[in-house]
Amino acid sequence: MRHFGFFVMATGLILLVGTVSARAEDAAGDWTGQLPSGFVVRLHIDRATDGFSGAFINASGNRTQLDKVTSDGAGLHFQIDNSNLSYDGIWAEDRSAWQGTLVLQGNYPLSLHRATAVELGPKVRRRPQETAIEAGPRPYSEHNVNFENSSAKVNLAGTLTLPQGKGPFPAVVLVSGTGPNTRDEEAEGHKVFTVLADALARRGIAVLRYDKRGVGESTGSYVGTTTIEFASDARAAIAFLKAQPGINSNYVGILGHSEGGIIAPMVGVDVPDIAFVVILGGPSIRGDKLFLAQSEKVSSLYGVPKDYIMRRKAFDRKLYEAVMSAGSDEEATTKAREIITQGVLDKVVDANEAPTLTRDTTTAWERFFLAYDPAPTLRQLSMPVLAVYGSLDSQVPAEANLPVAREALKNNKSATVIELPGLNHLLQQATTGSPQEYADIDETMSLLALNTVVDWIVESENANKNKAH
C-alpha cells in the first residue's frame, strides 16, 4: 500500500512561554524541533548578503527552499509560498529555542533548538530479528533460483528456502505489497520476508520469495505493470515451486502481504489446487474506498485538522471517480489535471504536489487498483484461508476491511479472519499505527503475527493429512 511521504502536523495553539531574551540570537545554522504529532523536522538557515536564505526539511528528509527568511535576533520568520506554510517565533533564552507557531492548514506549536551533531547524523536503528538470522545457525538451506513467466516473457529471480530433512515439504510462495520490492520485501529498513521465511522454514515449511519484475535480479519492467500482471508472476512462482524436488506438490499455498493480499486470492481462484491462501493486511474493499479510508486515518494520526481532512477526502473522491470513469488514459489525465488545478486554487492541494499527483493517479496500476473490488474474489475461495489484520493498521484499516473480508468468506468453513491487537500494517507491535513508526520500531514482525501464521499453516497441513487418511 501507499506510504505517506508528505509532512503533516497535529492541531493546537501555542502558548508563548519562556523568557524572551534581550540578547540577539544568530538565526544561521541548523535547527530542529518536534511537532505535536511526533514528527521531527529540521530547518537549515544560511546567512546571505541581503539577510538569510534556507531550506525546510520535513520528517521524510525532503528539502524545500524557503521563499523568505527574516530574523532580528529576537524573532524568526520564514515561509514557503506555494505551500502556504509560515512560521513566526521569538527567542526564549531560558529554553535556548525559538518558540513559535507553524501555520499549514492550521496552527501548530513548534519549538526549534539548535541541532546537535547526533541529531544531524544518520540514525542508527536496530533490527534484532534480522541480526539473529544472520548470526545463525539456520536449520535450513537457501538456494538462488530463477523461473520464467513465459506469458509475460520475464525471468524472475528469487530464493528457495528448504528445511532440514528429506521432505517432501509443504511450501508457500510469498507475494509482497505495493512498490518495487525485492524478495526480502524491504520496508522502512526492515526485511519483512526474510524474517517471515525464517520462521516458516524453522517449522518445516519450504518458502519461495522473489524479486518483482524489473526489480533486483528479475527482468522486465516494474513501471506500467498492474496488479493483474503481478498476479501472473505469482502463478508462475506457484508452478515453479510445485515442480521442485523435495516439495510436496499437493500442499503448496500462497501468502500475500498488503497488495499481495489481493494477488493471493486472485491466484487462489485461478489455480484451483492451491492448498491454502494467507492474507496479511490485504484490502477487501474497492481501491478508491481503501485510499479514502487510508488517507483519512493516516492524516488523523499525523495530526491534520479535521476540516482539512474532510475537504481533502471530498477532493480525492471526485478525483478518483473522474479517473475511474475515463474511457482512455488521455481522458483520465485531462480530467485529473483539471480537478487538481482547481484543488490548488481551493488550497486543498499543494502546488508542489500537483504534477506528481496528476501522474500518479493516472498510471495503469492506479487506474486498475482504484476500480478493483477484492470481495467477489474472496467469495470464490474454497480452500483454507487465513486473513490477518492488525488493529492499528492505518494503511489497510481493520475497521473498514475486516468485516467485509469476514462477510465475503462466511460460506468458506475453512476460513479464519482475525484481528491481532496492537499491530500495524507491517504487523509490528506499535503505539499508534502511523507509518512514521515503522522505521523506529526495532521489531520487523511481531512474534504474535509470526506464530499466528506459522501455527495456522502447520495445523492446516495436519488437518489435510488426517483428512487424506
Q: What is the pLDDT of residues 344-374, one digit of tens each?
A: 999 899 887 888 899 999 999 999 999 999 9
Reported as a single tens digit per residue, the pLDDT across 376-387 is 999 999 999 999
pLDDT at site 350: 85
CB of 119 closer than 8 Å to CB of 200: no
Give the integer Cα–Cα distance in Å for 43 and 66: 9
Give the integer Cα–Cα distance in Å for 448 and 436: 22
pLDDT at site 305: 87
pLDDT at site 22: 46
Strand locations in 104-176 (E): 107-114, 140-149, 154-163, 169-175
* Cis bond upstream, residue 168 (ω within 30): yes
**Domain-wise residue ranges, the chain:** 29-114, 128-285+373-468, 287-369
Give the integer Cα–Cα distance in Å for 219 and 153: 9
The backbone torsions φ and ψ at residue 215, rounded to the nearest 5 degrees and listed phi first, read: -125, 145
Sheet-wide strand order for 85-92: 63-65, 51-57, 40-48, 29-34, 107-114, 97-103, 85-92, 75-80, 68-71
* Cis bond upstream, residue 137 (ω within 30): yes
The answer regarding whether domain 29-114 maps to CATH 2.40.128 reads: yes
Give the integer Cα–Cα distance in Å for 236 and 270: 12
Cell of 297: 486515518
CB of 187 closer than 8 Å to CB of 426: yes
Strand locations in 402-466 (E): 415-420
- Per CATH, the homologous superfamily of domain 128-285+373-468 is Alpha/Beta hydrolase fold, catalytic domain (3.40.50.1820)
pLDDT tens, position by position, for the chain (469 residues)? 554 333 332 322 222 333 444 467 999 999 999 887 777 889 999 998 889 999 998 766 778 899 999 999 999 999 988 777 899 999 999 999 999 998 887 778 899 999 998 888 877 789 999 999 999 999 999 999 999 999 999 999 999 999 999 889 999 999 999 999 999 999 999 999 999 999 999 999 999 999 999 999 999 999 999 999 999 999 999 999 999 999 999 999 999 999 999 999 999 999 989 999 999 999 999 999 999 999 999 999 988 889 999 999 999 999 999 999 999 999 999 999 999 999 999 989 988 788 889 999 999 999 999 999 999 999 999 999 999 999 999 999 999 999 999 999 999 999 999 999 999 999 999 999 999 899 999 999 999 999 999 999 999 998 888 776 6
Complete DSSP assignment for 210-279: EPPTTSTT--S-STT--HHHHHHHHHHHHHHHHTSTTEEEEEEEEEEETTHHHHHHHHHHHSTT---EEE
Buried b (16+ CB within 10 A) or exposed e, 61-84: eeebebeebebeeebbbbbbeebe
3-state DSSP assignment of residue 2: coil
H/E element, 21: none
pLDDT at site 60: 64
Residue listed under C-alpha cell 520485501: 185
CB of 237 closer than 8 Å to CB of 158: yes
Cell of 53: 536564505
Query: What value does the CA radius of gyration of the chain take, rounded to a whole number of Å?
Result: 25
* The pairing of beta strand 75-80 with beta strand 186-187: unpaired
